[in-house]
Each structure stands twice: as structure tokens, then as C-alpha cells.
Amino acid sequence: MAKRRAIEISAAVAEAAKLADVDVVAAYPITPQTHIVETLANFIADGEMDAEYINVESEHSAMSACVGASAAGARVLTSTNSQGLALMHEILYIASACRLPIVMPVVNRAMSAPINIWCDHQDSMGERDTGWIQFYVETGQEAFDTTLQAFKIAEDSDVLTPVMICLDGFILSHLIEPIMILEKKEVGQFLDSVYKPVNVLHPNKPISIGLLGMPDYYFELRRQQVDALEKAKKVIAKVDKEYEELFGRRYSFFESYKIDDADVVLMTIGSMTGTARVAIDKLREEGKKVGLLKLRVFRPEPYSEIYDVIKNIKVLAVVDRNLEPGAFGGVVFGEVRSAFYNREKKPQIMNFIVGLGGRDITVDNFLEMADTALRVVETGKMEKIIEYIGLRE
């Protein structure tokens, strides 16, 4: 039976990889991701896990080795963040276009410069166009469960697309949390220990992978990735349901909190959601109609599903933990606004940019954001569409 263990979240993610019977791990150290690959190294050193562990010389080679191993039919995992993820950038496109179900926990960290090892989402958000599925998790339990789900989603023959599980650096990765860790037998009911690809690099049936696509074919081949991500929506929902039936936990594309009669909804992503919940409870005690919507699946986009639950609210405040210099607001804000533009009935949409480079996002910050949004409800006027919170200006 599953046991509740006080365990560091990085170690829990490694436990999930072990339970998934990963065959090849490509590892390159980068703070704050290191605890995941260190834990996996220990599992292998102690004979608890049977996998090839490749100590690659860079993240570029980590992703390249994952591509090779996955093409050869292995279940593979690597993990990185920030500069390491940026170094992988080129190969991320190739991994998804070659339809290789690689699983990668990304332990979110700010981008240089200035160099900074603390949390924000600039790294993974910067990879949003690479054709990968992206989950953002709030807790250690969700990180563990999502890692297990990720293999099943990625390897589904309708999907065959790699998955990033984005978890906030330090805030989640280094936190010790009581987590229900499943047993191998239980995981076996959910996930086959062997990944059985249709096309695999093996002399038994020679195939060519990664061909030259000229203008007469390239467009169609790339379009197939759009279809795969669309199909991934159904698979994500199906896998989530199966997981719930077996283990009693379910996450969906997003989670809403106290939004039924809300005038204002704060849309959060990642670990900041926990802090936001505290703020919402406080606001509700004061009779303020504020709710919360946590985005979990970012790719494929979840906006049609989200629309149904927020169409009746007055102000949607999107809280972005990322920065797009020169753009109109943060990444999620831009997408949400664009997705709802053609809807007749829609809330006013505003943007708060928060928590870059590990800057704390406090309950007070959320109270301030809620007050600003409530003022828009009262006055009908939005003075600023995009605001920075917790920043000295």
C-alpha cells in the first residue's frame, strides 16, 4: 500500500521515475534541479533501480542522449532548468517533432543575467513553442503524481509528445512535504513497465528518423504536432481519471477555488497558488467576492475549458511569474486575453507580474492584487492593465 512519507519533493519526483522503471537517465547538474538526479544516482548505486545513468557533459548532450535513447525504445528522463533548459532549446524542438515521449521535470529558475538561482517561470515559459506538453504543479504530491502521469500521457500512441513537469525551484524542489508514495505493485496497475513504441531504432526493422523536410513536406509534418497536442487534451483527462480511480487523486487542467459567485478571479500558476488560497480565505471572511483559478496544464492550452468557468465573472487578474521584455504583459496574460477576445461575454482581463528571480510572493501581495481588481469592479475603470507587484520602482 501507498505510504505517506515526509520526503523532499525532488526525492519524490525521483521516486516517481524509479516507480516508472525508467531505463535511461541523462544527468547534468544545475541548481536547484540537482537533488532529483542525485537521488536517482543513489537509487542506482544502491541497486534499487536498474537504469543506465549517463553523466553527460552538458544539457545539450543530456537532451541529445535522451533523444537517442528514446528513439531506441527506452523510457528516459532528464531534468534541468534555466540556463540548462536554454542550452537544450535546439533539441527540444527535435525531441517533440521526432515524437519521442521524453519526460523532464523542470525545476523553475530565473534566467541570467544577472545570474540568479531562484524561482520564476521565465525558463520553461520561454520554451512554450517547442511542442512539449507542460504541466505546472503546486505541491509535492502533485509533482509526484504528475510525473507518473507524464509517462503514460507522453507514450500514448495518439500523443507521442515529450512532457515537462514544471515545479518551482527551492520553494517546491527543496521542501519536505508529507507525500503519498505509491508502491511498485500499485503503479503497475496504472503504467506498464515497458514502453512499447511502434517505431524504434533497431536492426530488426530499419527506419530513418530525422529526415530532411523540404518546403513540399515540412508544413504538414509540423502540423501533425498541433494535432498531437490537441489529442493530448483527451489523453490528459483520461489518464487523470484513471489515476483518480486507482489512487483517489485528480488534478484536471486547472483548479478553481471559491469562484462560483466571484466578481474577481486571480489566475495563478505553480506554488504561489498556496499563498493565494490563504489570501482568498481572508478576503472571503471580509465578504469580498474573490476566487482563485490555478492553471495546471499550460500546453496544450486550456483556455476553452477555462472560459466556461470564468465567463460570468467581472475581472480576471492573471498573475504571471515571468517577463517578456517589450511584450504586452506576461506570457499567460497575453494568451488568455487573446483566447477570450472573440467571446461576446468576457471579463475584463488584467495582468500582475510578480516574483521574478525568487522574490517572495506574499499574502499581502495577493491582497493588494485583489483590491486593485475589486476597484476595477467598483469603478468600471482599469487604470493600468499591466502592473508589477512587489517591485521597488
Partner 1 sequence: MTEQAFKSIKNLPQEEYFAHGHRACSGCGHPIAMRLIMKAAGKNSVYISVTGCLEVVSSPYPQTAWRLPWIHVAFENAASVASGIEAAYKALMRKKKIEKEHIDVIALAGDGGTADIGLQALSGALERGHDFLYVCLDNEAYMNTGIQRSGSTPYGASTTTSPRGKVSIGNVTWKKDLPAIAAAHHIPYVATASVAYPIDLMNKVRKALDVEGPTYIHCLSPCPTGWRFDSAKTIEIAKIATLTGFWPLYEIVNGKTVLTKKVAKRKPVKDYLKLQGRFRHLKEDDISYIQNRVDEIAEELGLGPLG
**Binding residues vs partner 1 (CB under 8 A):** 21, 23-24, 26, 50-52, 54-58, 60-62, 64-74, 76, 90-91, 94, 98, 194, 201-203, 206-214, 217, 221
Of 62 and 361, which CB lies nearer to partner 1 in the complex structure? 62
Question: Taking the complex as a whole, how short is the minimal distance between the CB of residue 209 and partner 1, in angstroms?
Answer: 4
Question: Taking the complex as a whole, how short is the minimal distance between the CB of residue 277 and partner 1, in angstroms?
Answer: 42
Helix (H, G, I), strand (E, B) or coil at 27: strand
Of 52 and 244, which CB lies nearer to partner 1 in the complex structure? 52
Question: Taking the complex as a whole, how short is the minimal distance between the CB of residue 91 and partner 1, in angstroms?
Answer: 6
**DSSP code per residue over 146-207:** HHHHHHHHHHSTTT---EEEEEETTTTTT-EEEEEEPPHHHHHHHS-SS---SS---TTS--
C-alpha distances out from residue 381 to 131, 162, 330, 342, Å: 38, 43, 21, 21
Of 55 and 304, which CB lies nearer to partner 1 in the complex structure? 55
Per-residue buried b or exposed e for 67-98, using 16+ beta carbons within 10 Å of the residue's own CB? bbbbbebbbbbbbbbbbbbbbbeebbbbbbbb
Of 39 and 78, which CB lies nearer to partner 1 in the complex structure? 78
Of 207 and 246, which CB lies nearer to partner 1 in the complex structure? 207
Question: Taking the complex as a whole, how short is the minimal distance between the CB of residue 30 and partner 1, in angstroms?
Answer: 16
Q: From the CB of residue 57, how many other CB atoms can be counted at a distance below 10 Å? A: 9
The grid cell for 374 is 475589486
Question: Taking the complex as a whole, how short is the minimal distance between the CB of residue 105 and partner 1, in angstroms?
Answer: 18
Question: 126, 81 in Cβ contact below 8 A?
Answer: no
Of 70 and 372, which CB lies nearer to partner 1 in the complex structure? 70
Helix (H) or strand (E) holding 282: helix 272-285
The grid cell for 224 is 501533425
| Backbone dihedral angles phi then psi of residue 253, each to the nearest 5 degrees | -75, -30
Residue 214 burial (CB < 10 Å; 0-12/13-18/19+)?
Answer: exposed
Of 205 and 345, which CB lies nearer to partner 1 in the complex structure? 205
Question: Taking the complex as a whole, how short is the minimal distance between the CB of residue 112 and partner 1, in angstroms?
Answer: 20
Question: Taking the complex as a whole, how short is the minimal distance between the CB of residue 23 and partner 1, in angstroms?
Answer: 4
Question: Taking the complex as a whole, how short is the minimal distance between the CB of residue 59 and partner 1, in angstroms?
Answer: 10
> Torsion-angle region of residue 248: left (phi > 0), alpha (psi -120 to 50) or beta?
left
- How far is 188 from 21, CA to CA, in rounded Å? 10
CA of residue 32 relative to chain centroid, distance: 16
Question: Taking the complex as a whole, how short is the minimal distance between the CB of residue 383 and partner 1, in angstroms?
Answer: 48
Question: 25, 78 in Cβ contact below 8 A?
Answer: yes
- How far is 298 from 128, CA to CA, in rounded Å? 8
Of 17 and 179, which CB lies nearer to partner 1 in the complex structure? 17
Of 19 and 76, which CB lies nearer to partner 1 in the complex structure? 76
